[in-house]
Amino acid sequence: MFFTKNSFKSLSVRVLFVLGLALVSACTSPQIETGLNDPWEASNRRAHAFNKSVDKAFLRPGGNSVGRAIPDPLVTSVGNFADNLSSPGMVVNNLLQADAKGAFTNSVRFVVNTTIGVGGIFDIATMAGIYEVETDFGETLHVWGAAEGAYLELPLLGPSTERDTIGRVVDIFTNPLGYVLPKPEKYVGTAANVAKKLVDRGRYSQTVDSVLYDSADSYAQARSSYLQNRRYQLGGGGDALADPYDDPYGAGDPYDN
């Protein structure tokens, strides 16, 4: 087992604490954490070993096969389509962060790409200089003043933190498309997201392999890469690394509920 009954109970308490802290500290200036907080390293390492076995058995060969079989223009289209379907959820988070400019930009992108871009297959908005303001509920919690919490590696989902784990769960429910698309159309996004992850695994194969299979301690390397990149995304400064764990295990979808 990755987590014992007691560790799950402890995690649940801390998750509720992080969420409660976010709700009562909405006016607090967000802080970027430094250092390492990994009290569950033993269970995290077990989850990492499981994720690594899944990657070796399925994602690595699958990603390489898909990358070789699908032409680059189609690969780009799959990514564009999946990204476009996530835009409404990002607009919600922009609004929760009081980022009116980001919400407007992402809304325009969604309208332009959904219409002129044929459902998002073509990223016309970027061609026109309208760039995505990427965000998620983990960032929303950060803006509200919630602490990063302990580092976690989640089975199948990869590296995270307590704050970002809450964000992943909430993001399932914040995308309006999950409430307006009928079945089975609402699952098209899930399929596109899975395909995008496989394509990305093949596209960034050398980077991911260097961490998972070439480093002396793949767990420590993945943890360092994730935390450094996440903190950089949230405005912590420094140099961003090429993140080999850009959710390579993720098969979830923000509008699948």
- Cα separation, 78 vs 129, in Å, equals 20
Burial label for 94, CB within 10 Å (0-12, 13-18, 19+), is: buried
pLDDT higher than 50, residue 248: no
Q: Could you report the per-residue pLDDT of 31-67, keeping only the tens digit for each? A: 778 889 999 999 999 999 999 999 999 999 988 887 7
Q: What share of the chain is helix, strand, coil (3-state, %, to 5)?
A: 65, 5, 35
Say which residue the tokens 């690594």 belong to: 52
Banded pLDDT at 249 (limits 50, 70, 90): very low
- Cα separation, 237 vs 228, in Å, equals 9
Q: Could you report the per-residue pLDDT of 153-163, keeping only the tens digit for each? A: 999 999 999 99
Say which residue the tokens 């429910």 belong to: 173
- Cα separation, 170 vs 178, in Å, equals 12
Calculate the alpha carbon distances from 176 to 163, 168, 179, 180, 217 in Å.
Answer: 22, 15, 5, 7, 41
- Cα separation, 252 vs 245, in Å, equals 15
